[in-house]
Amino acid sequence: MARMKFLCDSERCIECNACVTACKNENEVPWGINRRRVVTLDDGLQSEKSISVACMHCTDAPCQAVCPVDCFYTTDDGVVLHDKDMCIGCGYCFYACPFGAPQYSQEGAFGARGKMDKCTFCAGGPEEDHSHEELDKYGRNRLAEGKLPLCAEMCSTKSLLAGDGDIVSELFRNRVVRREGRGESWGWETAYND
Amino acid sequence: MTLSKRKKMMGLTGLIMLLAIVLLPMTGYISTGFADTEIKQVEIKVEKTNPRADYWRAVRNNTAGYTAVKGRETGELIQGSGEVWRQLRNGPIATYGSWLIGITLAVLSLFYMWRGRVELIHPRTGKTVERWTLNERRMHWITAGLFIILGITGLSLLYGRMVLIPLFGHNGFSAYAAIAKWVHNILGPVFMVALLSMIVNWFSNNFITKVDIQWFKEFGGMVGDNHPSAEKLNGGEKIWFWSLTTVGMLLCFSGLVLDFPNFDQQREWLQLSHLIHVLTAFVLMSFAFGHIYIGTIGTEGALEGMVTGQVDTAWAKQHHDLWLKKLEDEGKAP
Ligand code: SF4
Ligand code: SF4
């Protein structure tokens, strides 16, 4: 079984935000929520670099560890998903997540949290594959269609890579060798130990 | 102002304006000049240290960058404190918290087996004095009720996954937890108001005096056959009051930070508040067990005071002699 991972090649990312838009559209992401975001460091300076970040689908995911209702599960592909029907919107996964992935639709007064929403690696949710409920709550299930996440597919510079971790790191390694650079697979140290 | 003076002024102003016209556009050169030196500095730095290493170090240190996505801390790539919070919550806090509750209950049961109930030494006189007014009793029972509800719903969020999911299943527990969270969030601020009203109303009765020090030295008559003096409130009650005033307020304020996320509190604040909230809750829960024990099965006649408002003068004489004496002096006691 593949172990799905994301990798953003910061030497390539040009902060076009195509991944953000692609995700938003493909998954019909609720208003006020972006499952992916591009962060630019040292904006306008020589050392400027951009990184596209979303849920990294961590090994031993911190969100999963703190959820009081235990609504997360990891698929055979290593994708971390959650059951919105069970989520009580407590915010704990948001406190614990290193990447700031979990977000909430605002429900009621005083910023009361609705159900948590985050990147699904375009793998839908616990509902039946391709069902209306799945699309409604979690977005498209591209993995079940044999496709990879749309953010990476649409990346104009092929900076954002998504797929089997071994293949992704092999691709990246070849790039780094060819450009005689130093490899920095951003976030991997934090997210993965498999 | 004479004419010559005015001419001089005009000449001077003209000169200043001319200078400004010549000099101001030059500030552009000045600032680019500075910028040039800045870039040179950057280049020098770049030569000295490995830029990429510097860069990734910055990313790990919660440095925020620019992002087009608006929202709370969206510019931050990796936040490290979440991991600390997770380990504290799931580790020591969950473990030692349950120990604290368990040990408190065990100690109280053992104490009861050893000491039994503190009985009245003199028979009841049948005459009573008013100890708590109706309003005081309402305040007490509302706060107490809220405390219990908040305690149970709060503990459910911490231990429910371990204890209740095996009993009710995932869906059953989730349905309960959703209500528990809602109830906890709504009643929390109400509890705060109730607690504050108790603090304000009973503040003046609760200054620790010499009498209380002596009361502590004799363990409040809980151990041995002494009956140390006490005013309307004894040393133990005063300690409970001050814990509620300090620890309790900390509990309430940390709760408010968690309850109202609409002020875009940073995650560090939420994590810290959560830890404070759980810790203070555990401390107060173990104190509350002690308070409930002493107020019910631990002491004969104590509960009546808070239920009916009246206590027997025999009870008052044994437990709060100075208070009874004061009432007698004031002619308020039968
Ligand atoms: S990135 Fe955050 S939300 Fe995604 S699996 Fe890791 S901890 Fe969970
Ligand atoms: S917000 Fe929902 S998914 Fe996140 S920890 Fe709470 S219950 Fe679990």
> Would you list the DSSP string of B40-96?
HHHHHHHHHS-HHHHHHHHHHTT-B-EESS-STTTTBS--SHHHHHHHHIIIIIHHH
pLDDT at B19: 65
Ligand 2 pocket member A67 (CB < 6 A): yes
Q: Is B66 exposed, middle or buried (0-12, 13-18, 19+ CB in 10 A)?
A: middle
Query: Distances from the Cα of B233 to the Cαs of A147, B8, B115, B312, in angstroms?
Result: 72, 86, 22, 16
Check pLDDT > 70 for residue B36: no
Where is average pLDDT lowest: B19-28, B180-189, B274-283, B294-303?
Answer: B19-28
Q: Using the structure block, give the residue that is written with the tokens 């992916």.
A: A36
pLDDT at B1: 52
Q: Work out the pLDDT band at B28, boundaries 50, 70, 90.
A: very low
B124-146 mean pLDDT: 95
Q: Using the structure block, give the residue that is written with the tokens 């368990």.
A: B102
Ligand 2 pocket member A93 (CB < 6 A): yes
Check pLDDT > 80 for residue B5: no
Query: Which ligand neighbours the alpha carbon of A101 most closely?
Result: 1
pLDDT at B44: 40
Check pLDDT > 80 for residue B20: no
Where is average pLDDT lowest: A44-58, B64-78, B199-213?
Answer: B64-78
pLDDT at A129: 93
Question: Do residues A37 and B69 make contact, with C-beta atoms less than 8 angstroms apart?
Answer: yes
The residue with greater pLDDT, A108 or A20, is: A20
Interface A-B, measured as beta-carbon pairs within 8 A, has a size of: 137
Q: Work out the pLDDT band at A108, boundaries 50, 70, 90.
A: confident
Residues 6+ positions from A108 with CB-CB distance below 8 Å: none
pLDDT at B33: 42
Residue ranges of domains in chain A: 4-191
pLDDT at A189: 86
One-letter amino acid for residue A157 of the chain: T
Q: Using the structure block, give the residue that is written with the tokens 């025999």.
A: B314
pLDDT at B172: 96
Q: Give dist(CA B156, CA B152) in Å, integer.
A: 6
Q: Which of A38, A86, A88 lies nearest to residue B68, judging by beta carbons?
A: A38
* Probe target for ligand 2 pocket from A64, A74, A87, with the most ligand atoms within 8 Å of CB: A87
pTM for the complete prediction? 0.85
Residues 6+ positions from A136 with CB-CB distance below 8 Å: A28
Query: Distances from the Cα of A120 to the Cαs of A4, A22, A148, A157, in angstroms?
Result: 11, 14, 11, 23
Number of Cβ atoms within 10 Å of the Cβ of A131: 13
Q: Work out the pLDDT band at B22, boundaries 50, 70, 90.
A: low
* Chain B residues closer than 8 Å to A23 by CB: none
Ligand 2 pocket member A88 (CB < 6 A): yes
Q: Using the structure block, give the residue that is written with the tokens 């299930």.
A: A141
Q: Quote the mean pLDDT of chain B.
A: 86
CATH number at B81-132+206-329: 1.20.950.20
Query: Distances from the Cα of B184 to the Cαs of B54, B89, B94, B191, B276, in angstroms?
Result: 45, 19, 19, 10, 16
* Probe target for ligand 2 pocket from A55, A64, A69, A74, with the most ligand atoms within 8 Å of CB: A69
pLDDT at B47: 42
Q: Say yes or no for a CB contact (<8 Å) between B66 and A86.
A: no
Cross-strand partners of B67: A39
Q: Give dist(CA A189, CA A157) in Å, integer.
A: 24
Question: Residue A86 phi/psi, 5° resolution?
Answer: -90, -30
Q: Is B303 exposed, middle or buried (0-12, 13-18, 19+ CB in 10 A)?
A: middle
* Chain A residues closer than 8 Å to B157 by CB: 68, 90
DSSP string for A69-92: T--EEE-TTS-EEE-TTT-----H
CATH number at A4-191: 3.30.70.20
Ligand 1 pocket member A4 (CB < 6 A): no
Q: Work out the pLDDT band at B71, boundaries 50, 70, 90.
A: confident
Q: Where in chain B is the domain with CATH 1.20.950.20?
A: 81-132+206-329
Where is average pLDDT lowest: A75-79, A106-110, B141-145, B258-262?
Answer: A106-110
pLDDT at B46: 40
Q: How far is A39 from chain B (nearest CA, A)?
A: 5
pLDDT at B12: 72
Number of Cβ atoms within 10 Å of the Cβ of A191: 22
Check pLDDT > 70 for residue B49: no
Q: Say yes or no for a CB contact (<8 Å) between A186 and B267.
A: no
pLDDT at B38: 42
pLDDT at B29: 45
For atom 6 of ligand 1, the residue with the nearest CA is: A58
A116-128 mean pLDDT: 96
Number of Cβ atoms within 10 Å of the Cβ of A103: 22
**Percent of chain B topping pLDDT 70:** 83
The residue with greater pLDDT, B44 or A37, is: A37
The residue with greater pLDDT, B72 or A65, is: A65
Q: Work out the pLDDT band at B240, boundaries 50, 70, 90.
A: very high
* Chain B residues closer than 8 Å to A94 by CB: 267
Residues 6+ positions from B277 with CB-CB distance below 8 Å: B251, B254, B255, B258
pLDDT at A106: 81
Nearest chain B residue to A108, by CA = B262
